[in-house]
A and B are shown apart, each in its own frame.
Chain A
Amino acid sequence: MNMAIDLENMKSDHLVDARAESCPGPLLAAKKAMTKVPMDGILEVWSSDAGTKRDIPLWCKKIGHEYLGDIEGKGYFKVFVKRKR
């Protein structure tokens, strides 16, 4: 998690609620949703699947997006990604 970024107050450009999805559903949902995010915009993904917290940083590394970090919600977590391509 990037401590320099205030994720609690982060305003996202697009929110994906993938809490009902099992792995790799949230990852696919993130990929699909990113097309709706403007360049340098923020995608926020909600997931209750533990694998997502590890998959999304790897996805960012592979694709070239910037992984901003994650924060805990109630029974789920929120992941933030900045679109870079």
Chain B
Amino acid sequence: MESEEEKITIVVFSGTIDRLIGMAILTNAAIAMDYTVDIFLMLWSTYAFKKDIIGKDNTISEHLDFTGDKFEEVLKTGGISPWYEMIKQSREMGKVKIHVCSAAGKAWSAELKDLEFVDDFVGAGEIVWSSAESKTTYFI
């Protein structure tokens, strides 16, 4: 198999910026290494990709005494770009497909036009299939 066809699957459940940054960094690195990436958005990550939410919600999931604003300062100190800018860059540089769990889309009453970067809606069977076909699957 050509290296360009080697695939990594990332299943993203969380929608908080500390975890979305993890997703974005791994995607960036995978693209740099010439892997193709399939990202599957589940419940909370689908919410985070909504056009009316993306870039506006800086909630973090852990260290709850740490405010989102304080966390953004930490990221700025580290020179770490916002997660959605990294995803945009990854999609420009490589093969990154972003899929939404159809149930999650339904739960948020979100159509494709309501979601940033998203390519399509998929069923859970395709998520399982993609994971089985990938070299590696990350769950975030």
Contacts and interface: CB of A to CB of B under 8 A. Distances in A.
A24 B3 contact: no
Contacts of B81: 25
B78 interface: yes
Interface in B56-110: 78-81, 89, 93
Contacts of A74: none
B25 A23 contact: yes
Nearest to B6: A62
A64 B4 CA distance: 12
A63 B34 contact: yes
A72 interface: no
Query: Which label, helix, strand, loop or mixed, suits the secondary structure of the A interface?
Result: helix
B32 A30 contact: yes
Interface in B33-68: 33-34
Interface in A35-58: 55, 58
A27 B25 contact: no
B78 to A, nearest CB: 6
B28 A28 contact: yes
Interface string A6-46: 00000000000000111111011011100000000000000
Interface of B: 3, 25, 28-29, 31-34, 78-81, 89, 93
Identify the 5 closest CB pairs spanning chains A and B, nearest first.
A24-B29, A22-B79, A27-B32, A31-B32, A28-B32
